[in-house]
Amino acid sequence: MKSKDVPQDDANMMQGKFREPVYSVDEKGNYTTVKSVGWDAKNEVMQDAWDNVNDRIEKARQNVIKGKSSPIAYYIEKNIMDVGIVASYMRIWKWRVRRHLKPSVFKNLSDEMIDKYCEVFGVKREVFLNADLRNTEEKQNINDNN
Amino acid sequence: MTTTNEKNNIHFEHKQSAHCENGVVSNMLNFYGIKLSEPMVFGIGSGLFFSHMPFLKVGGIPVTSFRPLPGMIFKRLSKRLGIKFEKHRYSNPHKSMEALDKNLQNGIPTGMLVGVYHLTYFPDPYRFHFNAHNIIVFEKKDNTYLISDPIMEGYESLSYNELLKVRYARGLFAPKGHMYWPKFVPKEIDLKSAIKKGIAHTCKDMLTIPIPMFGVKGIRYLAKKVRSYPKKLSSRRAASYTGQIVRAQEEIGTGGAGFRYMYSAFIQEAAEIMQNEKLRELSFELTSIGDLWREFAIITGRIVKNRNTVDESYDKAADLLLVIADKEEIFFKELNKLNKSL
């Protein structure tokens, strides 16, 4: 790729926090780096990856509202985690996390366990327990995934 | 960009790079007076690779990778240049921070592995649970740590708690407070022999691993898979599977060519050191292969954009992968031959 052809397709993927140095060839055929704000092809696949994340969050939210799973299921997706990652942060077995996904088990969880989950998910206790997910604005913006 | 820590006399120069592992090594060695560019580190450390492992999935999507496992570049480079590193992991997070503070007091910039998900200065779209990111901490001011993160353009900083959190991220490749710094740096390094070893290793990896998922064979294997995606998967899923390839290929800032451009830059620098015009010509060959990888990314970008409709482009993408595989096979055979004669 020639240096003058390095794409500058900004989709705010880097939120203005940095530009990427892209290796390319100058007029004399020598390698150099040119800073780029983005490239359509890459923006497209990154957007797709985030759309997948948002779809999973939405599905989990619906399951919590329908009473099929506990809020943990929702927060796992919202934090782009999986049962394995949550279990390692919680320092408990995976099967226990899976059990806690059942609303019937969740409602009997100890205070201590709930606090630990809140810490892992970075959410306040009252939000975690009392959140009516029906009212949550769900469509996460790609630039606001936290 | 430079900054000076007056008290400890740390004068740490930060240079942005396209890939974190190369960048950290390059910046750190620079501190000890060894000037190696990012492509040089990448080439000597044999950072170019290809693998497609359909059974290894992240987020439910098979993993394609254009580089070896995290840490390999680092390991190979230090072996080939005779640099010895001190490496430590700490089960107690606060002990690890104490050890870091002690290092900084002694004026030793310290490299470490961190998870990017909780890295506050990272742009959000890049914050996945990826735990093998490398940064250098070079100074502590009050309760703030100054950071040279090779992905960023300038210096960054993290508080005690923020740094502790990313050093003890969990999940795959959990860093567990891993930190490292050079304990022996030779006065003279034999760059030529290191370059030759680096090239030989990459050629071997790309051409001779007898498992069809790696090297040139792996690209052909992936071509077959890509062709089958629209037949086997929903159109949405097929698009995401193909899109992952491009995400790996683009990584951060490599120009969308799966590190092929960076490797060309290395070959070009090597040509100058070895005084070999033929090597320089070969770098142009690899650049044009890199251009084909970009073309593949563009086709894929279109597939992903039209993900909810049936797309005819999968065959085109697969055909292109086969062309790339053939060209890379020829390229690495020639490079290997030339390297042996150097």
Q: What is the pLDDT of residues B251-263, one digit of tens each?
A: 666 667 889 999 9
Confidence label for B11 from pLDDT (cuts 50, 70 and 90) = confident
- pLDDT of res. A139: 44
The token duo for B82 is: 């005779």
Closest CA to B192 of B74, B22, B335, B342: B342
- pLDDT of res. B56: 86
Asked if B305 reaches chain A (Cβ–Cβ under 8 Å), the answer is: yes
Whether A83 shows a pLDDT value over 60: the answer reads yes
Residues of B in contact with A13 (CB under 8 A): 123, 125-126
CATH value at residue A62? 1.10.260
Cα radius of gyration (chain B): 21
Residue of A37, A44, A59, A140 to mutate for B, most B C-beta atoms under 10 A: A44
The token duo for A103 is: 């609303």
The token duo for B248 is: 């790996």
- pLDDT of res. B111: 96
What's the fold here for domain B2-35+84-184? Answer: Cathepsin B; Chain A (3.90.70)
Domain span at residue A66?
Answer: 42-144
Give the pLDDT mean for A2-6.
92
Residue of B235, B296, B304 to mutate for A, most A C-beta atoms under 10 A: B304
Q: Give Cα B277 distance to the centre of its chain.
A: 27
Number of domains observed in the structure of chain A = 1
The full 3-state SS of A27-86, as one line of letters, equals CCCCEEEEEECECHHHHHHHHHHHHHHHHHHHHHHHHHHCCCCCHHHHHHHHCCCCHHHH
Whether A45 shows a pLDDT value over 90: the answer reads no
Instruction: Give the B window 78-117 contacts with A, CB below 8 Å.
Output: 117
Closest CA to B120 of B144, B141, B102: B144
Closest approach of B123 to chain A, Cα-based (Å): 5
The token duo for B331 is: 């390229």
Residues of A in contact with B247 (CB under 8 A): 42, 45-46, 49
The token duo for B74 is: 């680092």
Q: Is residue A127 in some structural domain?
A: yes
Whether B1 shows a pLDDT value over 60: the answer reads no
Confidence label for A141 from pLDDT (cuts 50, 70 and 90) = very low
Confidence label for B4 from pLDDT (cuts 50, 70 and 90) = very low
Confidence label for B128 from pLDDT (cuts 50, 70 and 90) = confident
Residues of B in contact with A85 (CB under 8 A): 129, 170-171
Q: Give Cα B232 distance to the centre of its chain.
A: 32
Q: How far is CA A1 from CA B50, B74, B282, in A?
A: 21, 28, 15
Reported as a single tens digit per residue, the pLDDT across B276-332 is: 999 999 999 999 999 999 999 999 988 988 877 766 789 999 999 999 999 999 999
Q: Give Cα B35 distance to the centre of its chain.
A: 19
Instruction: Give the B window 230-289 contacts with A, CB below 8 Å.
Output: 239-240, 243-244, 246-247, 250, 252-257, 261-262, 264-265, 268-269, 283-284, 287
For residues A28 and B253, give the distance between their C-alpha atoms in angstroms, rounded to a whole number.
Answer: 22
Whether B268 shows a pLDDT value over 80: the answer reads yes
Q: Is residue A101 in some structural domain?
A: yes
ipTM of the complex as predicted = 0.87
- pLDDT of res. A15: 85
Query: Is A36 in Cβ contact with B290 (below 8 Å)?
Result: no
Domain boundaries, chain B: 2-35+84-184, 191-341
Confidence label for A126 from pLDDT (cuts 50, 70 and 90) = confident
Instruction: Specify whether the CB–CB gap between B261 and A24 falls below 8 A.
Output: yes
Instruction: Specify whether the CB–CB gap between A33 and B18 falls below 8 A.
Output: yes
Whether B3 shows a pLDDT value over 60: the answer reads no
Closest approach of A125 to chain B, Cα-based (Å): 20
Total residues belonging to chain A:
146
Query: Is B59 in Cβ contact with A13 (below 8 Å)?
Result: no
Total residues belonging to chain B:
342
Element (H, E) at B153: none
Closest approach of A103 to chain B, Cα-based (Å): 25
Instruction: Specify whether the CB–CB gap between B169 and B159 falls below 8 A.
Output: no
Whether A131 shows a pLDDT value over 90: the answer reads no
More confident residue, A146 or B319: B319
Strand blocks (E) in chain B: 2-5, 10-13, 51-58, 61-65, 84-88, 110-114, 133-141, 144-148, 156-159, 179-184
Taking CA atoms, what residue in A is nearest to B297? A41
Closest approach of A73 to chain B, Cα-based (Å): 15
Closest approach of A39 to chain B, Cα-based (Å): 9
Instruction: Specify whether the CB–CB gap between A1 and A14 falls below 8 A.
Output: no
- pLDDT of res. B251: 67
- pLDDT of res. A145: 38
Instruction: Specify whether the CB–CB gap between B257 and B249 falls below 8 A.
Output: yes
Query: Is A17 in Cβ contact with B252 (below 8 Å)?
Result: no
> Residue B3: exposed, middle, or buried by beta-carbon count in 10 A (0-12, 13-18, 19+)?
middle
- CB atoms under 10 Å from CB of A68, counted, come to 13
For residues B18 and B37, give the distance between their C-alpha atoms in angstroms, rounded to a whole number.
Answer: 11
Residue of A27, A48, A90 to mutate for B, most B C-beta atoms under 10 A: A48
Give the pLDDT mean for A42-46.
87
Q: How far is CA A144 from CA A52, A71, B77, B115, in A?
A: 15, 20, 38, 19
Give the pLDDT mean for B120-145.
90
- pLDDT of res. B144: 95
The token duo for B313 is: 């482009």
| B256, B261, B268: residue with CB nearest A42 | B256
The token duo for B336 is: 């290997």
Asked if B148 reaches chain A (Cβ–Cβ under 8 Å), the answer is: no
Number of helices (H), then strands (E), belonging to chain B: the values are: 11, 10
